[in-house]
Amino acid sequence: MTSMKNNLNLGLAAFTVLAMASVPAFAQEAAAPTVAITAATTPNVDYIFNTVLFLIGGFLVMWMAAGFAMLEAGLVRSKNVAMQCTKNIALYSIAGLMFWAVGYNLMYPGDDGWIVADVVGKFLPVSLPDPASDTGNAYATGSDWFFQMVFCATTCSIVSGTLAERIKLWPFLIFCVVLTGIIYPIQGSWEWGAGWLDDMGFSDFAGSTLVHSTGGWAALAGALLLGARAGKYGPNGEIHPMPGSSMPLATLGTFILWLGWFGFNGASQLALGTLENASAVAKIFVNTNMAAAAGVIVAIILTQVIYGKVDLTMALNGALAGLVSITAEPLTPAVWQAVVIGAVGGVIVVFTVPLLDKMRIDDVVGAIPVHLIAGIWGTLIVAWTNSDANVVTQAIGVGAIGAFVFIASFVVWAFLKFTIGLRPTLEEETDGLDKAEIGIEAYPEFGTGSQRI
Amino acid sequence: MTSMKNNLNLGLAAFTVLAMASVPAFAQEAAAPTVAITAATTPNVDYIFNTVLFLIGGFLVMWMAAGFAMLEAGLVRSKNVAMQCTKNIALYSIAGLMFWAVGYNLMYPGDDGWIVADVVGKFLPVSLPDPASDTGNAYATGSDWFFQMVFCATTCSIVSGTLAERIKLWPFLIFCVVLTGIIYPIQGSWEWGAGWLDDMGFSDFAGSTLVHSTGGWAALAGALLLGARAGKYGPNGEIHPMPGSSMPLATLGTFILWLGWFGFNGASQLALGTLENASAVAKIFVNTNMAAAAGVIVAIILTQVIYGKVDLTMALNGALAGLVSITAEPLTPAVWQAVVIGAVGGVIVVFTVPLLDKMRIDDVVGAIPVHLIAGIWGTLIVAWTNSDANVVTQAIGVGAIGAFVFIASFVVWAFLKFTIGLRPTLEEETDGLDKAEIGIEAYPEFGTGSQRI
Amino acid sequence: MTSMKNNLNLGLAAFTVLAMASVPAFAQEAAAPTVAITAATTPNVDYIFNTVLFLIGGFLVMWMAAGFAMLEAGLVRSKNVAMQCTKNIALYSIAGLMFWAVGYNLMYPGDDGWIVADVVGKFLPVSLPDPASDTGNAYATGSDWFFQMVFCATTCSIVSGTLAERIKLWPFLIFCVVLTGIIYPIQGSWEWGAGWLDDMGFSDFAGSTLVHSTGGWAALAGALLLGARAGKYGPNGEIHPMPGSSMPLATLGTFILWLGWFGFNGASQLALGTLENASAVAKIFVNTNMAAAAGVIVAIILTQVIYGKVDLTMALNGALAGLVSITAEPLTPAVWQAVVIGAVGGVIVVFTVPLLDKMRIDDVVGAIPVHLIAGIWGTLIVAWTNSDANVVTQAIGVGAIGAFVFIASFVVWAFLKFTIGLRPTLEEETDGLDKAEIGIEAYPEFGTGSQRI
Amino acid sequence: MKLLTAIIKPFKLEEVRSALTDLGLEGMTVTEVKGYGRQKGHTEIYRGAEYAVSFLPKIKIEIVVPSEQVDKAIDVVQTAARTGQIGDGKIFVSSIERTVRVRTGETDETAL
Amino acid sequence: MKLLTAIIKPFKLEEVRSALTDLGLEGMTVTEVKGYGRQKGHTEIYRGAEYAVSFLPKIKIEIVVPSEQVDKAIDVVQTAARTGQIGDGKIFVSSIERTVRVRTGETDETAL
Amino acid sequence: MKLLTAIIKPFKLEEVRSALTDLGLEGMTVTEVKGYGRQKGHTEIYRGAEYAVSFLPKIKIEIVVPSEQVDKAIDVVQTAARTGQIGDGKIFVSSIERTVRVRTGETDETAL
Ligand SMILES: Nc1ncnc2c1ncn2[C@@H]1O[C@H](COP(=O)(O)OP(=O)(O)O)[C@@H](O)[C@H]1O
Ligand SMILES: Nc1ncnc2c1ncn2[C@@H]1O[C@H](COP(=O)(O)OP(=O)(O)O)[C@@H](O)[C@H]1O
Ligand SMILES: Nc1ncnc2c1ncn2[C@@H]1O[C@H](COP(=O)(O)OP(=O)(O)O)[C@@H](O)[C@H]1O
């Protein structure tokens, strides 16, 4: 994803190119590829296409919020399902409000809006121009804000899964406020806001690092301070699995995320108004789909070989890991390269999920392997297919954002832990958070739900 | 939403403007905002963009039918879930058939097609022109019909939730036939059909009153004649809650509705072929999202404060109430105003849901607070942000449509009650409608489902 | 669906037409319908619209994979739900990989790429051109591949439902590899690849035969070799129904499929860049929706009349049968004709579902009536509304593809049966495939799930 | 002490429970069961095929009472659970030799 | 009267029920239970970690019969429920002192 | 033989099971039940209206043991199931006249 600044230029390009484009002679020349490419559509058409790309991409990514909700509802035990649903709809709402009140301008300060040049943007709520004079960019201002906001929400969704079943509602929501209002936008400004990482040549097309690893780091910091679910790990290193309550909901959630990812990666091309952009978006769709497919198949084969049975939850994680892996660069890889990149994502899931358990880091839905580890992989491998990127700069970006997000999150989590506290009482946790904090069971009529014999 | 007539003009405008638009000189002028705005795209491009807007908006609103189905399936007890699914897919189908056979032309009679001028349109099924000569408007005829039809279906979906768990299938479906074929189109013609309310200056952009309140009034009339579910209210005014069977399905349904609403409000701009229209659609997306977010957060905070626990079902209703509130005017409010308007929607839910129970009006899913009451609020508040609207005219529109829909619905419900009857026997209701009328349990394997110890 | 070849011409047409289109004189003429129709948009705009059509249509059809997953998860017993989810996400992934590695070029060899002229295309993986020079067609290469791929995946999804609850995971997945890589592409090339059926004048707009019947034939061959679920049919011809585990999931799946079908049929117009194409897509949306609606209502009425109760699962099948019926020709029918065509689909379901049981062919979700039988009906009835088609040629196409797919599938199934075997042991089947092959229950906490008292 | 096992219709549970509470019987254990008896199940149709549902949902109430209270308890349950329709259920009485309250170790009547 | 409590494998329920019906025993109460015994559970893997499923799904059938029919009933159940595999289950017999039919108030054998 | 029926708190099941196994009691049958007793339920709020949840989830363990092992078994269960909190549950003892192992036909103690 280039910075908004670049994108504006791109818009202006359309205008200038146009003089030549719309003269009658155009048609014939159009037949010749080279011209056809540079030939932009008329500025309004270009503007409308870009806006449509942001809006369609935006609603697809918004839909991912439902995907996370279903995935997590399916992977937690039934006694915590209503809580998980509550967290997911609340965090999506918070992301919208915070990214409007603070986040957007902190992330996209423009050329001269920085408080600390290229590091910290400005604090200012967003207001939209009158549509009749919304001509500052090659797209509608609102469409860009909407598209950026849903990315911020996605980052936050990642956190809720890891910490499920044992964190109280309010401390979690307060963290979401800080993450979506401050932490996410600041690190985002370094790259997509045209800050220092962008200047350095760091490349993260749709956010393997800026969105997924960021969510993963915030989740990891939380998991370390929060500790594991009661009874998850025995005194002698035993691991006690706590199977999720609904495999079909987890599967539905994964399909929703897969669908949303076409908007996530595709619309990150940020422009649709030229033949080249349209073709690029199409190529991104293909690579995105192939990486996910490879992740699924690898996870299925590996779990069959290693465990003698196919683990559906690993296959679902595999799809997501494939998607995260290709997110840093879905455009430059050839199809076979996208397959390879996604396949490695599947491998990562199968091997790091048990690893985390061995380290006694309790990640309920596997968000750390899927979003953090695969996100790092995806960011580093950009250098393989994109000659503009080099692995050192990529590593610096991964490290810088990782350090900032992890430390900042850790501080916030620690503050919450020692003030209002993060965890419910053991009894509340045993009874389930639905009873303790929501007051309704997710499935009041299906067996006793909250425990299994 | 302006009337189709206006929309046609809008299309013609595009044609005329064009002469100037597509001369070579255009490009430079385009740089100057003022011209860029008026400069329309070529008529075909304009036509295609408008058609695309209707089709995308249309399938998003069609998807809301699934949202209502899931929301209601989640909020009824498991013994009535299969029935609720049946009602929802049946009513969506009926809406399509009736709006084709009768509704559309009754709602959009055009300038001289009225039976009673500006009050009752004409009775005539819809037939679509050959695509090769579908040039009567600035959009494809079929795309407009499809977009209008899904609004009709939405109105009908609202009714099924309120009356759930105690109304027989067939009387309900018969009511749907009348509502979608006659009641909805007639009141709709008064405003969107360029009837008397439109002439008066009443303003309802996407249907807070025409769709949501209309559904709410029809539901209210039904609830009064139908009475409450057996055992819902005790002899001494006790209220016996009957928790829904699946919170994740209710949450999924809400997310689906939220997603669909971008089409509901966004495509109600009715045109996409100019820079201004594109920017307007984008702004509508933002305001729609913010109103919903505010509704959720307000409902969460209020239920926490008032009841000491967060009520997920209220949070879900809060999102929908926020959406309904902004539907009458999603374009003119500044973002912060959209937040305020949606937040009030959240307040409405938290306070009117218990109020209805006190009045012993049994609204299973909270459709009356969400669609009727928030719909009235949203319609009246238009005057705050849209200078073309005034609160008196808005009140007249709310009153006129409310009176017509409530009375007409009441008559139909009463007729059904005293002919085929509305309610199953007490035993059938106790056993659940799935067993009584559908013959399959929604969840045959999960506990006994139909009651809880 | 015309062949890719025709589509290319269509693209070129846009170029030539253009010379006239973009001269200043254009605007006025545009007012005159005839010209407005032929007048294409500029080549880039045309290209972008076509690409957008493929991408939106593509992600809608991709979403159908989730629809099949939910429909099947809802219609199998809970002890096989996790397996069904696994099969569905795996087969979608396999379809993507195989259609890239082999399928696409086998199906679309172009004019001179055939191994056996007009019968067998070439074996060659797909690679996408650099977006900067992707000017070979009037749409982005990747968008076309993506759109074609999801059709291939849909074909495969159909098979999993019929064979559910009794086929082992791996033989099923191996069959999917052959179906998506070889069988589907070869028969597809005969028509959409501009092969011999296309030359003959066979007409199948969006795949009633090429996609749905093909899936149905493959499923039928499998069902015959696999046999019925243990205990499904008694020794004296008794039929023992095995109700599905979740009606709301089945309903959700049907709504997802309905939504996806707008992309399935609508984007099969293959072009959006002219007024006529836009209007055609819109008409297709309307006819598609009406056929489904008619299928639902007919199924509801018939089951009420015949059985005295409404069968929700038949109503859901009715919607799908209506959709399959209109898929062979969603453009030429008048709305009322679409209603009739879809209604017959509903009739087919209600009468052939029990018929299959009498023949002891165990089709768990009703895929054979819905996709195979309604697909044949839809293909034959094309001649009613499309003067270019004649029923004999249609029958030849149905027969040829049916014979090829059934025999080829039968051979593959037979090979698998006599090598690795298709069925789990009786005990594994009784315990459920989730326990036997997946190792996790779909709903570990809801009652014992795997059986009902 | 005696164990009263009552099989009743599900929707009667609340009445029976409060009736027993009025009698001062403060403890009981309840189980969801399926019953088969004179009240036959019904046949349903699924996708065109008939099938018999031979078992009906019932609630089983187990309550241990001091021997002298058995008669009263039986009366109370029978009145509260009665609809007069077939399928109302049964009450079975058997004897309990010992009772222990886990929390305190109290035994027999004092443990109830 | 005696109470026969049979713990059987779930898929045997139908056979046992019809066998008992053939014997003229028209009433029974059935419960879904989980069993633990010689037939050990199995271990499963979830996300790479092993866990033991120590309880297996079983069906508990409770049927009260006149004392003289106990032997026949036991025979019938044992034959119908038998697979010869470990985990087939058990039959326990205890005595019932009184039976009341809620609907009519009939008692003891007439109430069965 | 005696039937021990223990009503315990769900999360204590694992402890009780292993304690019994250590005692060499290799078989038991477990049921999910709802309990009502001194430990009152709680009130919840749903959409603004209060309602009482009077029954609490409990686990019922049924285990048939040779008479001489009853005391040990009771001890073991009571210790393992005890939290000291109200609602810990009860243990009821009644007598079983006969036991049959379905698989083998073995009877009484040998069938356990
Ligand atoms: N002999 C029996 N043993 C155990 N339970 C029985 C017996 N007979 C009946 N029941 C239980 O009592 C319930 C009601 O009995 P039923 O004969 O149907 O009606 P009624 O009690 O009115 O005669 C049955 O559903 C079953 O659960
Ligand atoms: N002592 C016991 N008390 C209560 N139930 C028992 C006892 N022993 C076994 N059961 C029940 O009987 C079932 C089968 O017993 P098991 O020992 O596994 O096989 P088998 O009966 O063939 O020896 C167990 O799953 C359990 O439900
Ligand atoms: N008289 C009784 N008969 C049957 N079950 C009982 C009886 N009294 C209590 N129970 C069961 O024991 C459980 C715990 O009893 P309770 O009185 O709540 O706590 P405690 O055993 O600590 O006094 C109850 O939930 C109920 O399931």
DSSP assignment of chain F equals: -EEEEEEE-GGGHHHHHHHHHHTT---EEEEEEEEESSS--EEEEETTEEEEE--EEEEEEEEEE-GGGHHHHHHHHHHHH--SSTT--EEEEEE--EEEETTT--BGGGG-
Q: Tens digit of pLDDT for each residue in D40-96?
A: 778 889 999 988 888 888 999 999 999 999 999 999 999 999 999 899 999 999 999
Average pLDDT, chain F: 91
Q: What is the mean pLDDT of residues C170-181?
A: 98
CA distance F68 to F64: 12
Give the pLDDT confidence score for residue B132 in this predicted structure: 95
> Is residue D80 less than 8 Å (CB to CB) from chain E?
no
Place of tokens 């082992």: C168
Q: Which helix (H) or strand (E) holds C305?
A: helix C275-307
C85 HSE (CA, 13 A, CB side): 35
C107 HSE (CA, 13 A, CB side): 29
User: In angstroms, how far is CA A305 from the centroid of its own chain?
Assistant: 31
Could C313 and D47 be called an inter-chain contact, meaning their C-beta atoms sit closer than 8 Å?
A: yes
Considering only the beta carbons, identify the residue of B43, B140, B149 that sits closest to C282: B140
CA distance B374 to chain A (A): 19
Kindly indicate the confidence band of residue F43, based on its pLDDT and cuts at 50, 70 and 90: confident
Q: Is residue E44 helix, strand or coil?
A: strand
Ligand 1 centroid to residue D78 C-alpha, Å:
14
Backbone CA torsion sign across A6, A7, A8, A9: positive
Ligand 3 centroid to residue D63 C-alpha, Å:
9
> Which residues in chain A have their CB less than 8 angstroms from residue E49's CB?
239-241, 354, 357
Residue B20 CB partners (closer than 8 Å, separation 6+): B26, B39
Q: Tens digit of pLDDT for each residue in C308-345?
A: 999 999 999 999 999 999 999 999 999 999 999 999 99
Q: Tens digit of pLDDT for each residue in F14-40?
A: 899 999 999 999 899 999 888 988 887
| CB contact at 8 A, B141 and C282 | yes
**Pocket of ligand 1 from Cβ distances under 6 Å:** D 7, 35-39, 56, 58, 86-90; E 27-29, 62-64, 101, 103, 112
E39 lines ligand 2 (CB under 6 A): yes
Considering only the beta carbons, identify the residue of D81, D85, D90 that sits closest to E111: D90
Which residues of chain B have a Cβ shorter than 8 Å from any chain F Cβ? 239-241, 243, 307-309, 311, 313-314, 350, 353-354, 357, 366, 453
Which of A53, A445, A451, A452 would you mutate first to test chain B, the one with the most B CBs within 10 A? Answer: A445
Higher pLDDT, C3 or E56: E56
State yes or no: pLDDT of C153 exceeds 50.
yes
CA distance B309 to chain F (A): 8
State yes or no: pLDDT of F82 exceeds 70.
yes
> Is residue D78 less than 8 Å (CB to CB) from chain E?
yes
Kindly indicate the confidence band of residue C437, based on its pLDDT and cuts at 50, 70 and 90: very high
| CB contact at 8 A, C76 and C165 | yes
Which residues of chain F have a Cβ shorter than 8 Å from any chain B Cβ? 34, 45-51, 55
End-to-end CA distance of chain A: 50
Give the pLDDT confidence score for residue E32 in this predicted structure: 87
Residues 136-155 of A with CB under 8 A from C: none
CA distance C368 to C386: 26
End-to-end CA distance of chain C: 50
Q: Which of B136, B151, B145, B137 is nearest to B188 (CA)?
A: B151
| CB contact at 8 A, B293 and B344 | no
Give the pLDDT confidence score for residue B34 in this predicted structure: 31
Q: Is residue C312 helix, strand or coil?
A: helix
| CB contact at 8 A, B154 and B216 | no
CA distance B403 to B401: 5
- Kindly identify the ligand whose nearest atom is closest to the C-alpha of F91: 3
CA distance A96 to B295: 12
> Which residues in chain D have their CB less than 8 angstroms from residue C240's CB?
49, 51
Give the pLDDT confidence score for residue A451 in this predicted structure: 35
Give the pLDDT confidence score for residue A41 in this predicted structure: 65
> Is residue C168 less than 8 Å (CB to CB) from chain B?
no
CA distance B179 to B155: 9
Considering only the beta carbons, identify the residue of E3, E30, E31 that sits closest to D94: E3
Q: Which chain C residue is nearest to residue E46, measuring alpha carbons?
A: C440
> Which residues in chain E have their CB less than 8 angstroms from residue D75's CB?
none
CA distance A145 to chain B (A): 8
- Tell which atom from ligand 1 comes closest to the C-alpha of E104: 22
Residues 198-257 of C with CB under 8 A from A: 246, 249, 252
Reduce the secondary structure of chain B to three states and give it as a string. Answer: CCCHHHHHHHHHHHHHHHHHHCCCCHHHHHHCHHHHHHCCCCHHHHHHHHHHHHHHHHHHHHHHHHHHHHHHHHHCCHHHHHHHHHHHHHHHHHHHHHHHHHHHHHHCCCCCCCCECCCECCCCCCCCCCHHHCCCCCCCHHHHHHHHHHHHHHHHHHHHHHCCCCCCHHHHHHHHHHHHHHHHHHHHHHHCCCCHHHHHCCCCCCCHHHHHHHHHHHHHHHHHHHCCCCCCECCCCCECCCCCCCHHHHHHHHHHHHHHHHHHHHHHHCCCCCHHHHHHHHHHHHHHHHHHHHHHHHHHHHHHHHHCCCCHHHHHHHHHHHHHHHHCCCCCCCHHHHHHHHHHHHHHHHHHHHHHHHCCCCCCCCHHHHHHHHHHHHHHCHHHHCCCCCHHHHHHHHHHHHHHHHHHHHHHHHHHHHCCCCCCCHHHHHHCHHHHHHCCCCCCCCCCCCCCC
The runs of H, that is alpha helices, within A165-213 are 169-178, 184-191, 196-200
Q: Worst-scoring range by mean pLDDT, A315-329, B68-82, C180-194, E96-110?
A: E96-110
> Which residues in chain B have their CB less than 8 angstroms from residue F36's CB?
none
Q: Which of B182, B177, B214, B210 is nearest to B416 (CA)?
A: B177
Neighbours of chain C (3+ CB pairs under 8 A): A, B, D, E
Give the pLDDT confidence score for residue C447 in this predicted structure: 57
- Kindly identify the ligand whose nearest atom is closest to the C-alpha of E58: 2
Q: Tens digit of pLDDT for each residue in B297-355?
A: 999 999 999 999 999 999 999 999 999 999 999 999 999 999 999 999 999 999 999 99
Residue B34: count of CB within 10 angstroms of its CB: 11
Q: Is residue C357 helix, strand or coil?
A: helix
Which of E12, E90, E91, E97 would you mutate first to test chain F, the one with the most F CBs within 10 A? Answer: E90
> Is residue E4 less than 8 Å (CB to CB) from chain F?
no
Higher pLDDT, E26 or A358: A358
Ligand 2 centroid to residue F67 C-alpha, Å:
17
Q: What is the mean pLDDT of residues F68-85?
A: 94
State yes or no: pLDDT of B230 exceeds 50.
yes
Residue F59 CB partners (closer than 8 Å, separation 6+): A453, F7, F8, F9, F10, F12, F13, F30, F31, F32, F33
Q: In this structure, what are the phi and psi dihedrals at residue F49, rounded to the nearest 5 degrees?
A: -115, 135
Give the pLDDT confidence score for residue E44 in this predicted structure: 86
Q: Which of B213, B221, B218 is nearest to B191 (CA)?
A: B213
Higher pLDDT, B211 or B451: B211
> Which residues in chain E have their CB less than 8 angstroms from residue C439's CB?
44-46
Ranges of residues in chain A with a pLDDT under 70 are 1-41, 447-453
State yes or no: pLDDT of E66 exceeds 90.
yes
Long-range CB contact pairs, C31-40, < 8 A, 24+: C31/B15, C31/B43, C33/B133, C33/B135, C36/B43, C36/B44, C36/B135, C36/C275, C37/B132, C37/B133, C37/B135, C37/C274, C37/C275, C37/C276, C39/B44, C39/C274, C39/C275, C40/B44, C40/C13, C40/C14, C40/C273, C40/C274
Angle, alpha carbons B439-B445-B446 (nearest 5°): 110
CA distance E31 to chain A (A): 13
List the beta bridge partners of residue E50.
E45
Q: What is the mean pLDDT of residues C71-87?
A: 97
- Kindly identify the ligand whose nearest atom is closest to the C-alpha of D26: 3
> Which residues in chain C have their CB less than 8 angstroms from residue D55's CB?
453
Give the pLDDT confidence score for residue F39 in this predicted structure: 82
Kindly indicate the confidence band of residue C41, based on its pLDDT and cuts at 50, 70 and 90: low
State yes or no: pLDDT of C360 exceeds 60.
yes
Token pair belonging to B282: 């984008």
Residue C96: count of CB within 10 angstroms of its CB: 31
CA distance B252 to chain D (A): 28
